[in-house]
């Protein structure tokens, strides 16, 4: 039996950042290399119907070991890590028996993981934590989910006395750039329902998520010598700044929580000649979600009237929707996870995902798919960390959900 932390530490050595600019699937070759490694591991631990398709999706089966007629269950995690921060040359640090105080991630750069800034750390006092070295993200989102699923499958294979139905597992590419479910073959996966193992802190159970849209605003400027620029220059960066300042100051990630939506200015690049702004639009309520998109359309229209038609180009497209719409009538699936957590001594924390998972889109594709915790926190950046004990509990929950 492979320890889940040992498995996880192997996985984070694979650099698997996804790339939104790439038209391929997977969007990066490194994801495909990691997928090939996972295929080998699935075969080694004894899974069947192990397959890597031409788009980089890994699927495998743990056959049923019961004569009872039970539904086919699935577990899903994603292979890519966020492009928001480097995933190259990850050097994890292990903090045993965490004392609840500051953790120096990088002494040279004075990068400190502090419970004063990240109070959730206190919940893991006494645990063994795995952190970054302050130079990269960690990759717990979602290599922890993959490690937990495969460790649970290995445990079930080693313990045939635990009776379960047919279990399907899948590992997807490009979830972090919103394309993880694009080419997912739900019919081939052939599960009645599934769980993504892609959540955060110990005990999280989620069946609600943001409605999400992506917005790219391109501003076409006109550059002339600043000494003779009067009535001629059209400064794309300045126009972009003016446009950005029209967005509501309080409706941003830094100032919202719970069920509050936001506009997130994710990038702003450019010069006088051309500038590009990208926004993430998020809201749990569909009416408010539509209003946010209308606000952007109206703002761009107004700015084009001010600076000339064609100055600003808007690319606005939906990414995924709130899976609550599809899961409210299937709460037995959510309750199964809730009861499994209780059975292994975890107090479930049912809260909405302030983000999205492959499960959100898969639920709309006919595969009901709530989301479960991995045990990590502060994903997508240098302050990311995960608890080894929480990862072990995630394995227990997967096993308990599978058990009849």
pLDDT of residue 355: 85
Domain boundary among 320, 338, 360: 320
CATH number of the domain that 227 lies in? Answer: 3.30.70.360
Name residues of the chain where pLDDT drops below 70: 1
| Co-location of 216 and 304 in the same domain | yes
Domain boundary among 275, 293, 320: 320
| Co-location of 189 and 53 in the same domain | yes
| Co-location of 224 and 307 in the same domain | yes
CATH number of the domain that 37 lies in? Answer: 3.40.630.10
| Co-location of 314 and 345 in the same domain | no
Which residues 6+ apart lie within 8 Å of 271 measured at CB?
221, 223, 236, 237
| Co-location of 308 and 328 in the same domain | no
| Co-location of 194 and 218 in the same domain | no
Catalytic residues: 80, 175
| Co-location of 14 and 108 in the same domain | yes
**Up-side HSE of residue 378: CA atoms within 13 Å toward CB?**
23
DSSP E strands, 93-192: 93-95, 103-106, 111-113, 129-131, 167-172
| Co-location of 218 and 123 in the same domain | no
pLDDT in tens, 214-223: 999 999 999 9
Domain boundary among 320, 353, 380: 320
DSSP E strands, 114-272: 129-131, 167-172, 193-197, 204-206, 211-220, 262-270
State how many domains the chain has: 2
| Co-location of 114 and 256 in the same domain | no
Report the run of H or E that residue 59 belongs to, with start and end: strand 58-62
Domain of residue 375, residue span: 4-209+322-402
| Co-location of 147 and 56 in the same domain | yes
| Co-location of 167 and 38 in the same domain | yes
pLDDT of residue 222: 92
pLDDT of residue 375: 97
Q: What are the helix (H) ranges across 190-272?
A: 236-244
| Co-location of 66 and 156 in the same domain | yes
């Amino acid at each position: 039996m492979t320890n889940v932390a040992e498995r996880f530490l192997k996985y984070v050595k694979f650099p698997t950042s996804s790339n939104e600019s790439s038209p391929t699937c997977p969007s990066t070759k490194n994801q495909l290399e990691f997928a090939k490694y996972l295929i080998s591991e699935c075969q080694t631990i004894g899974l069947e119907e192990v397959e890597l398709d031409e788009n980089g999706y890994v699927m495998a089966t743990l056959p049923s070991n019961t004569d009872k007629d039970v539904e086919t269950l699935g577990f899903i995690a994603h292979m890519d890590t966020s492009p928001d921060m480097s995933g190259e040359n990850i050097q994890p640090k292990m903090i045993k028996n965490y004392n609840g105080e500051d953790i120096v991630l990088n002494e040279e750069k004075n990068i400190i993981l502090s419970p004063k800034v990240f109070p959730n750390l206190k919940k893991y006092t006494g645990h063994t934590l795995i952190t970054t070295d302050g130079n990269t993200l960690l990759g717990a989102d979602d290599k922890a989910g993959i490690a937990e699923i495969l460790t649970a499958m290995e445990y079930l294979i080693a313990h045939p006395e635990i009776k379960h139905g047919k279990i399907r597992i899948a590992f997807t590419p490009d979830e972090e750039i919103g394309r993880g479910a694009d080419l997912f073959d739900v019919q081939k996966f052939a599960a009645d329902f599934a769980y993504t193992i892609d959540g955060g802190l110990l005990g999280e159970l989620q069946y609600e998520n943001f409605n999400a849209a992506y917005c790219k605003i391109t501003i076409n400027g006109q550059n002339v010598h600043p000494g003779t620029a009067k009535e001629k220059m059209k400064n794309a960066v300045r126009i972009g700044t003016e446009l950005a300042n029209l967005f509501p100051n309080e409706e941003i990630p830094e100032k919202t929580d719970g069920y509050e939506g936001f506009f997130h200015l994710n990038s702003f690049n450019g010069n006088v000649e051309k500038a590009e702004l990208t926004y993430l639009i998020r809201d749990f309520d569909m009416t408010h979600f539509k209003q946010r998109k209308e606000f952007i359309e109206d703002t761009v229209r107004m700015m084009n009237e001010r600076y000339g038609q064609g100055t600003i180009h808007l690319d606005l497209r939906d990414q995924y929707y709130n899976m609550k719409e599809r899961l409210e009538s299937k709460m037995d699936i959510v309750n199964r996870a809730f009861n499994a957590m209780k059975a292994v001594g975890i107090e479930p924390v049912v809260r909405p995902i302030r983000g999205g998972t492959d499960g959100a889109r898969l639920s709309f594709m006919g595969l009901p798919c709530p989301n479960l915790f991995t045990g990590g926190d502060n994903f997508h950046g240098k302050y990311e960390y995960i608890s080894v004990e929480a990862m072990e509990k995630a394995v227990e929950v997967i096993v308990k959900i599978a058990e009849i």
